[in-house]
A and B are shown apart, each in its own frame.
Chain A
């Protein structure tokens, strides 16, 4: 089993998850996550050699439906719920830097 989670790990994970945590939250979560992962050591110690993973309880493959034209969501209704919209689009803060 992997080593228990460190504060540096927690910081890295928060970055991956796009969570801007406070220092207090990072401290608290580091300890709490370590406790949960410690509890998970019973799963880690199982002999699972040759056991396939289960990602989903139903073994459905190639689920098909009739290709029928039906109304989609109302654009105005959807955009009215956006934090910011412009014309027919969602408006977002700057994604790329200024051109050199």
Chain B
């Protein structure tokens, strides 16, 4: 059942939240042993929350637009009193003293959090293999990765554990796993969703967003979490324009991004994107190629900017106020030993890379130059959006790869995000919609990109693709 259907049934009293939640928890108990989407399942909390929703309905009140809908939460979203680890040893056993705004909003609207999902440690990765607690497996093929970093949330939705999940997307961490698991994933406009309570990775890029099995469900969840928040001074000060999921693309101008096709994109993925473009054309859209030259070097700029911000954000893990402490005689040695033992290899690598890019003598050549490249990319997008309403590209260059295939070569792993990263640098929204399968029978996602606050038109195109998907 979709979230839209569950909420309608629960609000009308046709179905209890408790039976919905019990059915989903039974599925988790049955198959999460092999998938490992969850790091923590909160059975008691979920049943209590379901009881509150049912009581609300019994009193004749409306529990809200997400009434009784089970939701999975990426474990970098703070949940007061519930473990929040970021899949890192450094936060093992930590119970946050506050709850993320996005989580608060879904709960206030009647959703039922089932638990916290696995991720690449501190959201750094594209396969969920960088979790300190073991990888998540792709429900479509257990030998393959679910993508990442929000692999647990993507897998939870793909496996039917929850119709909705929240993830975070810094360079593609919602859209890429959504594509690899065959579900819908949205990276909203930067600032559209409050980051309060999202554990920071790269603050100018991070954004919380939905996973769902349908475009309409993703829109329902985005509308629940979006909106200004006084607790996040980088949240957009106005409400997100209403989202529209009518599959109507007549007259829309769709630009196929030249730099995100061809070299580096698997032929079966490229073929699905071409088929999506043709389908939109047949439905009345005007489809043409467009050049976004900055997309060519966006990956390089990202892997200087994001680690630079991460090296600063992760300085807070010092063994003083929370998390792991490896005690030594003096504070400086305590920092070094705590961080050596608490962080995994990828996190250390990115802290090193970011510290280097920001260090004296290299700052301008690396970080400064990457920031100027970011400006050029934003200008290229602005030019493209003068001619087109939305842009189209693959979400990921390949279908889901096998576990272990890229763990020894960080650069090969980084290339998994080549199509998603430009959006984050620009602060724009994008959505991944399943559009058929590859030669290996695994899902392929098509990405629809839109200008800042262009979610309304982006969802219309996504709904059309969903309707026409093979």
B328 touches A93 (CB 8 A): yes
Residues on A with beta carbons closer than 8 Å to the beta carbon of B359: 12-13, 16
- In the complex, what distance in Å separates the CA atom of A41 from the CA atom of B343? 28
Residues on A with beta carbons closer than 8 Å to the beta carbon of B361: 2
A20 touches B340 (CB 8 A): yes
- In the complex, what distance in Å separates the CA atom of A60 from the CA atom of B335? 35
Most chain A CB inside 10 Å of its own CB: which residue of B318, B353, B361: B353
B303 touches A36 (CB 8 A): yes
Residues on B with beta carbons closer than 8 Å to the beta carbon of A51: 372, 375-376
B320 touches A92 (CB 8 A): yes
Residues on A with beta carbons closer than 8 Å to the beta carbon of B375: 48, 51-54
- Would you call A19 an interface residue if the criterion is a C-beta within 8 Å of the partner chain's C-beta atoms? yes
- Would you call A78 an interface residue if the criterion is a C-beta within 8 Å of the partner chain's C-beta atoms? yes
Size bin of chain A's contact surface = 35 or more
Other A-B contacts than A33-B356, A42-B300, A54-B375, 9 sampled, CB-CB below 8 A, are A19-B348, A20-B336, A22-B340, A40-B301, A53-B372, A53-B375, A56-B234, A57-B204, A63-B233
- Would you call B414 an interface residue if the criterion is a C-beta within 8 Å of the partner chain's C-beta atoms? yes
A33 touches B97 (CB 8 A): no
A36 touches B410 (CB 8 A): yes
For A73, give the chain B residue with the smallest CB separation: B97
- Would you call B331 an interface residue if the criterion is a C-beta within 8 Å of the partner chain's C-beta atoms? yes
For B351, give the chain A residue with the smallest CB separation: A17
- In the complex, what distance in Å separates the CA atom of A54 from the CA atom of B449? 20
Residues on B with beta carbons closer than 8 Å to the beta carbon of A8: none
A73 touches B98 (CB 8 A): yes
- In the complex, what distance in Å separates the CA atom of A20 from the CA atom of B322? 19
Write the A54-96 contact mask toward B (1 if CB under 8 angstroms, else 0).
1111101001011000000110011001111000001011110
A selection of 6 A-B contacts at a CB cut-off of 8 Å is A13-B356, A52-B372, A58-B191, A65-B233, A78-B322, A81-B94
Task: Please tell me which stretch of B6-14, B68-76, B363-371 contacts chain A, meaning at least 4 of its Cβ atoms lie within 8 angstroms of it.
Answer: B363-371
A90 touches B320 (CB 8 A): yes
Residues on B with beta carbons closer than 8 Å to the beta carbon of A12: 359
A85: shortest Cβ distance to chain B, in Å?
9
B348 touches A74 (CB 8 A): no
Residues on A with beta carbons closer than 8 Å to the beta carbon of B322: 78, 81-83
Residues on B with beta carbons closer than 8 Å to the beta carbon of A63: 233-234, 237
Residues on A with beta carbons closer than 8 Å to the beta carbon of B345: 25
A82 touches B331 (CB 8 A): no
B304 touches A19 (CB 8 A): no
- In the complex, what distance in Å separates the CA atom of A57 from the CA atom of B170? 13
B376 touches A48 (CB 8 A): yes
CB within 8 A of B332: which of A18, A35, A81?
A18
A99: shortest Cβ distance to chain B, in Å?
15
A93 touches B331 (CB 8 A): yes
Known interface pairs A2-B365, A2-B366, A43-B370. Does A55 touch B204 (Cβ–Cβ under 8 Å)?
yes
B377: shortest Cβ distance to chain A, in Å?
9
B330 touches A95 (CB 8 A): yes
B273: shortest Cβ distance to chain A, in Å?
24
- Would you call B51 an interface residue if the criterion is a C-beta within 8 Å of the partner chain's C-beta atoms? no
Residues on A with beta carbons closer than 8 Å to the beta carbon of B303: 36, 39-40
A38: shortest Cβ distance to chain B, in Å?
9
CB within 8 A of B365: which of A1, A20, A54, A74?
A1
- Would you call B230 an interface residue if the criterion is a C-beta within 8 Å of the partner chain's C-beta atoms? yes
Residues on B with beta carbons closer than 8 Å to the beta carbon of A78: 97, 321-322
Known interface pairs A13-B355, A58-B191, A93-B331. Does A18 touch B318 (Cβ–Cβ under 8 Å)?
yes
B352 touches A17 (CB 8 A): yes
A93: shortest Cβ distance to chain B, in Å?
5
Write the B317-357 contact mask toward A (1 if CB under 8 angstroms, else 0).
01111111101111111111101100101001101110110
B348 touches A29 (CB 8 A): yes
- Would you call B374 an interface residue if the criterion is a C-beta within 8 Å of the partner chain's C-beta atoms? yes
A57 touches B410 (CB 8 A): no
- Would you call B373 an interface residue if the criterion is a C-beta within 8 Å of the partner chain's C-beta atoms? yes
A72: shortest Cβ distance to chain B, in Å?
10
CB within 8 A of B304: which of A21, A32, A40?
A40
- In the complex, what distance in Å separates the CA atom of A13 from the CA atom of B351? 9
B355 touches A92 (CB 8 A): no
Known interface pairs A17-B352, A19-B340, A19-B352. Does A83 touch B323 (Cβ–Cβ under 8 Å)?
yes
Write the B400-435 contact mask toward A (1 if CB under 8 angstroms, else 0).
000000000011001000000000011100000000
For B355, give the chain A residue with the smallest CB separation: A17
B352 touches A58 (CB 8 A): no
CB within 8 A of A29: which of B352, B365, B368, B378?
B352
